[in-house]
Amino acid sequence: MFKPQIKVPATYMRGGTSKGVFFKLTDLPKPAQVAGEARDNLLLRVIGSPDPYGKQTDGMGGATSSTSKTVILSKSEQPNHDVDYLFGQVAIDKPFVDWSGNCGNLTSAVGAFAITNGLVDKNTVPDNGVAIVRVWQANIKKSILVHVPMTNGEVQETGDFELDGVTFAAAEVKLEFLDPADGDGALFPTGNVVDDLEVPGVGTLKATMINAGIPTVFINACDIGYTGTELQGDINNDTAALEKLETIRAYGAVKMGLITNINEAQARQHTPKVAFVAGPADYTSSSNKYIRANSVNLLVRAMSMGKLHHAMMGTAAVAIGTAAAIEGTLVNIAAGGGALNEVNFGHPSGTLKVGAEAKKIAGDWQVTKASMSRSARVLMEGVVRVPG
């Protein structure tokens, strides 16, 4: 006798250039309300992983790193915060949920979900104007302010804000990532803004390894045979390129102290990210939009879960903005150098503007805030069914 499917209240949302399944912690089955195997197994089945076919046909996942995501929200247990936000990156072909980092794109949907689902004190939410939802990012223990537009007591989702990588316009959602550096204050875990990263089979690469938004390893595009104008097909259809970039990521993770040996990288797919940078150049985006060199400060291409991202991860954008604001990093150099509090960078789908405030205190770089704009909307809400 097979057990019937269970019904779990859920909301399917787009946030930035990602989408995922959102849950209230208290709506999950009791065993899944705490971290552990029961929670991971539930989320894997919801998304449709592991899928050896790589399609996630029997679940809510979209067979890409941008669409294989889950979010669990609850009223905050932290002082001066409204909601606790826990993000789970679900592997597609492996039985694995990575809890090691944040999703900056889905952060833009957190505020709207929290307001709509009663996780924010109504007295702090205006009927018209902008509600500021104070988010505690539980994966990385950081504060984020999400500015949610409100109209007549409801979250305003429609608008004319255009975000490259998203087909349709929507309402603008401003994000502020407060003190986005790693929790122990190690913005640069090696102590250097540029290091020599030795990668067997590849060579010794100049690298900026930074913990801001999400741990990220930046390298120069030209050092690995690229121009920075590449689109997904140029990388994702090249097995040798994917293996090379994953090897760079693994050795970068060791150098950053995130893992002790490269064999551990497979169990930590979400972090760090690896991205390659170049100076401005003309190129045509994946949507056939012509990007002129004089419209951007630099070009960035980033890998996510083993594939070139179709646009840019929100957390990696924080890392880009932060690194750009600090003189001497590879990102800063690619953008022309000097004091840069804001950059507009080119990615495969178009461009994105991100800002950061950095300053040197007692010889160490510190970043007080990084900011950007995204958009978000509910795609579907109700219950998701999961085989018992």
Q: Is residue 357 one of the residues assigned to a domain?
A: no
Q: Is residue 34 one of the residues assigned to a domain?
A: yes
Please tell me whether residues 155 and 201 are part of one structural domain: no
Please tell me whether residues 216 and 329 are part of one structural domain: yes
Q: Is residue 45 one of the residues assigned to a domain?
A: yes
Please tell me whether residues 219 and 131 are part of one structural domain: no
Please tell me whether residues 123 and 219 are part of one structural domain: no
Please tell me whether residues 202 and 74 are part of one structural domain: no
Please tell me whether residues 169 and 207 are part of one structural domain: no
Active-site residue 313, yes or no? yes
- Per residue of the chain (388 residues), give pLDDT as tens: 899 999 999 999 999 999 999 999 999 999 999 999 999 999 999 999 999 999 999 999 999 999 999 999 999 999 999 999 999 999 999 999 999 999 999 999 999 999 999 999 999 999 999 999 999 999 999 999 999 999 999 999 999 999 999 999 999 999 999 998 866 658 999 999 999 999 999 999 999 999 999 999 999 999 999 999 999 999 999 999 999 999 999 999 999 999 999 999 988 888 999 999 999 999 999 999 999 999 999 999 999 999 999 999 999 999 999 999 999 999 999 999 998 999 999 999 999 999 999 888 888 888 999 999 999 999 999 999 999 8
Give the number of domains in the chain: 2
CATH number at residue 48: 3.10.310.10
pLDDT digits (tens, 9 = 90+) for 202-226: 999 999 999 999 999 999 999 999 9
Please tell me whether residues 16 and 158 are part of one structural domain: yes
pLDDT digits (tens, 9 = 90+) for 328-339: 999 999 999 998
Provide the domain limits for residue 171. 5-180+376-387
Q: Is residue 136 one of the residues assigned to a domain?
A: yes
Active-site residue 103, yes or no? yes
Q: 56-88 in b/e burial notation, b at 16+ Cβ within 10 A?
A: beebbbbbbbbbbbbbbbbbbeeeebbbbbbbb
Please tell me whether residues 114 and 214 are part of one structural domain: no
Please tell me whether residues 382 and 305 are part of one structural domain: no
* Torsion 198-201-205-207 (CA) sign: negative
In the structure encoding, which two tokens stand for residue 245, read together?
A: 């970039």
Q: Is residue 186 one of the residues assigned to a domain?
A: no
Catalytic residue among 103, 209, 312, 372: 103
Give the global pTM. 0.90
Please tell me whether residues 216 and 319 are part of one structural domain: yes
Please tell me whether residues 137 and 218 are part of one structural domain: no
Backbone angles phi, psi at 232, to 5 degrees: -55, -45
Catalytic residue among 150, 256, 313, 372: 313
CA distances from 232 to 201, 238, 311, 344, 346 (A): 24, 10, 9, 20, 14
Q: Is residue 228 one of the residues assigned to a domain?
A: yes
In the structure encoding, which two tokens stand for residue 252, read together?
A: 């970068």
Please tell me whether residues 257 and 327 are part of one structural domain: yes
Q: Is residue 341 one of the residues assigned to a domain?
A: yes
Q: Is residue 147 one of the residues assigned to a domain?
A: yes
